[in-house]
């Protein structure tokens, strides 16, 4: 996985160049190593010590201001006062689990179902709540298996769907240390740039049909296909190309799980939910990170008949899932998206950002492709435009150069050569200039 490799390399760099770190940075880094398990990783060769956030900006302990181009957790902006107030107010009243009656979880569910696209019958969907996207996908996979009686799952080769044992089994982006499930079929992502395929919808649908046929030939019954509708970890692949593939899944008795942790909640601009850009009807929709703007809350919306196959026979309880404080945060997020017009903002400012970055890319031979939807952009770096050979080393170097210019982001894609540019939704036009100048200057610095 590109990000995992980046972090591992950076750990090695820090060990070799500890003398170059500021004394306080070195002290905290060493303290982390002493106190926390070895699986924890840090971004950047010289770690960033953040102490404050507001909107799309972050500040470190030295007072340096950064433009956050990566964070979809604080999706409506760091420390948004509406979320702070909602959490504080509810915490003063009550916080307990879902085995007592409480209006917040019911009111929020009605509101959340109201965000579904008009072509879906929102009343047919029921909700369940957890704390993380990993838990939501884990439960969705359990429901898929219960409903279909199958165990075969389909995902893409660089997908990330969570870190529980079940969700990580369909998350090859975690790297070789995490085994893929025995009955998991991995497909190449529908990447028209890298595959060179113009008609990507029938091409991808055929990959799905072939996987199902191979599955059946081995005596495995299809349970479902799990996908993030913008294929974030596969390199950010916007478009309208999933309908035929989902039809193939449904005709074979499987279900479609739309993982909306990254593309959902107005991120892609034109649609509230990423899957709506494809015009498909998921059987289960999962969400997490942007749902609570930093408060741990996640959930799923599932067709009633699909969910009943699991819930009619299997009790499920999550101690903190759907608690009143988390529901207060989640409700505040929906209210802010509407009140501040953040979906329309993401569409308009996102389109302007994409055009600016595309024009910038035309001036640098190292930029192979710039693509995106709303405030979710992939900036692909190559060694040669004609061969499209990916340039992972340049992408990793770009992360460090951008950081030195106050812009924080990361990489994605199977080759680790795509800058994943995904700022909080309040990102403004002045921020486009900051980010564009940082990209331009970094590319120039690394071309010498």
pLDDT per residue over 329-378, tens digit each? 999 999 999 999 999 999 999 999 999 999 999 999 999 999 999 999 99
Domain 48-76+342-446 has CATH 3.90.1660.10: no
What are the residue ranges spanned by the domains of the chain?
A: 48-76+342-446, 81-339
- What is residue 123's three-state secondary structure? helix
Q: List own/partner pairs for 20-28 with CB under 8 A and 24 or more apart.
A: 20/46, 21/46, 21/47, 24/49, 24/61, 25/49
Q: Is the pLDDT of residue 328 over 90?
A: yes
Instruction: Pick the closest to residue 231 from 343, 155, 136, 282 (CA basis).
Output: 155
As a whole number of angstroms, the distance between CA 420 and CA 440 comes to 16
Supply angle C-alpha 292, 297, 299, rounded to 5.
110
Tokens of 50: 């953040």
Radius of gyration, CA atoms only, the chain = 22
Q: What is the DSSP string of 209-253?
A: HHHHHHHHHTT--EEEEEE-TT-TTTT---SS--HHHHHHHHHTT
Closest CA to 242 of 227, 232, 254, 252: 227
Dihedral-angle region of residue 427 (phi above 0 means left; psi in -120 to 50 means alpha; beta otherwise): beta
pLDDT tier at 10, thresholds 50, 70, 90:
low
22-46 tens-digit pLDDT: 888 889 989 998 999 888 888 999 9
d(CA 24, CA 423): 28
Mean pLDDT of 159-166: 95
- 234-292, pLDDT tens digit by residue? 999 999 999 999 999 999 999 999 999 999 999 999 999 999 999 999 999 999 999 99
Q: How confident is the model at residue 19 (pLDDT cuts 50, 70, 90)?
A: low
The arrangement of secondary structure in 81-339, i.e. its CATH architecture, is 3-Layer(aba) Sandwich (3.40)
pLDDT category at 11 given cuts 50, 70, 90 is low
The CA angle 223-197-217, to the nearest 5 degrees, is 30
User: What percent of the chain stands above pLDDT 90?
Assistant: 89
64 in Cβ contact with 406 (< 8 Å): yes
Token pair of 16 as six digits: 């070799």
At 279, list the tokens: 């015009």
235 vs 413: CA distance, rounded Å: 4
**Separation of alpha carbons 107 and 183, rounded Å:** 39
Q: What is the dihedral of CA 344, 430, 427, 382, to 10 degrees?
A: 100
pLDDT at 3: 43
- pLDDT of residue 5 exceeding 70, the answer is no
> H/E element holding 336?
helix 324-339
> How high is the mean pLDDT of the chain?
94
444 CA to centre of own chain: 30
DSSP H or E run through 66: strand 65-68
Q: What is the pLDDT of residue 16?
A: 63
Contact 260, 75 (CB under 8 A): no
pLDDT bin (cut points 50, 70, 90) of residue 1 is very low
pLDDT above 80: residue 4:
no
> What pLDDT, on a 0 to 100 scale, did the predictor assign at position 17?
61
The predicted structure's pLDDT at residue 13: 54
pLDDT digits (tens, 9 = 90+) for 401-444: 999 999 999 999 999 999 999 999 999 999 999 999 999 999 99
3-class secondary structure, 435? helix
Kindly state the tokens that stand for 402. Answer: 């951008």
pLDDT in tens, 90-128: 999 999 999 999 999 999 999 999 999 999 999 999 999
């Amino acid at each position: 996985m590109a990000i995992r490799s980046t972090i591992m390399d950076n750990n090695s760099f820090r060990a070799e160049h500890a003398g170059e770190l500021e004394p306080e940075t070195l002290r905290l880094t060493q303290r982390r190593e002493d106190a926390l398990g070895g699986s924890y990783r840090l971004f950047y060769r010289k770690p960033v010590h953040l102490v404050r956030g507001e909107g799309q900006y972050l500040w470190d302990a030295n007072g340096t201001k950064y433009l956050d181009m990566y964070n979809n957790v604080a999706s409506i902006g760091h420390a948004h006062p509406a979320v702070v107030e909602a959490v504080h107010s509810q915490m003063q009243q009550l916080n307990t689990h879902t085995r007592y009656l409480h209006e917040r979880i019911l009111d929020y569910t009605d509101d959340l179902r109201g965000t579904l696209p008009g072509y879906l019958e929102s009343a047919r969907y029921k909700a369940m709540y957890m704390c993380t996207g990993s838990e939501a996908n884990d439960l969705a996979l359990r429901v898929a298996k219960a409903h279909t009686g199958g165990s075969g799952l389909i995902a893409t080769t660089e997908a990330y769907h969570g870190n529980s044992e079940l969700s990580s089994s369909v998350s090859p982006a975690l790297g070789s240390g995490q085994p893929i499930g025995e009955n998991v079929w991995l497909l190449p992502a529908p990447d028209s740039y890298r595959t060179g395929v113009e008609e990507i919808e029938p091409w991808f649908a055929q990959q799905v049909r072939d996987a199902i046929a191979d599955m059946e030939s081995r005596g495995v019954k299809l349970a479902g296909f799990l996908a993030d509708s913008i294929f974030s970890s596969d390199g950010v692949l916007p478009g309208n190309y999933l309908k035929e593939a989902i039809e193939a899944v449904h005709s074979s008795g499987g279900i479609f799980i739309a993982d909306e942790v990254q593309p959902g909640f107005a991120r892609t601009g034109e649609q509230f939910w990423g899957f709506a850009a494809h015009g498909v009807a998921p059987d289960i929709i999962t969400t997490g990170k942007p749902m609570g703007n930093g408060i741990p809350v996640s959930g799923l919306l599932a067709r009633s008949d699909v969910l009943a196959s699991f819930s009619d026979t299997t009790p499920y309880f999550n101690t903190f899932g759907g608690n009143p404080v988390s529901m207060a945060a989640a409700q505040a997020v929906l209210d802010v998206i509407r009140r501040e017009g953040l979906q329309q903002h993401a569409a308009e400012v996102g389109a302007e950002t994409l055009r600016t970055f595309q024009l910038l890319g035309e001036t640098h031979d190292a930029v192979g492709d710039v693509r995106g939807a709303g405030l979710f952009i992939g900036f692909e770096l190559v060694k040669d435009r004609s061969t499209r050979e990916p340039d992972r080393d340049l992408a990793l170097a770009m992360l460090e150069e951008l950081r030195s210019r106050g812009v924080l982001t990361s990489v994605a894609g199977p080759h680790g050569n795509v800058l994943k540019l995904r700022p909080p939704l309040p990102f403004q036009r002045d921020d486009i200039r900051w980010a564009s100048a940082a990209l331009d200057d970094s590319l120039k610095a690394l071309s010498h």
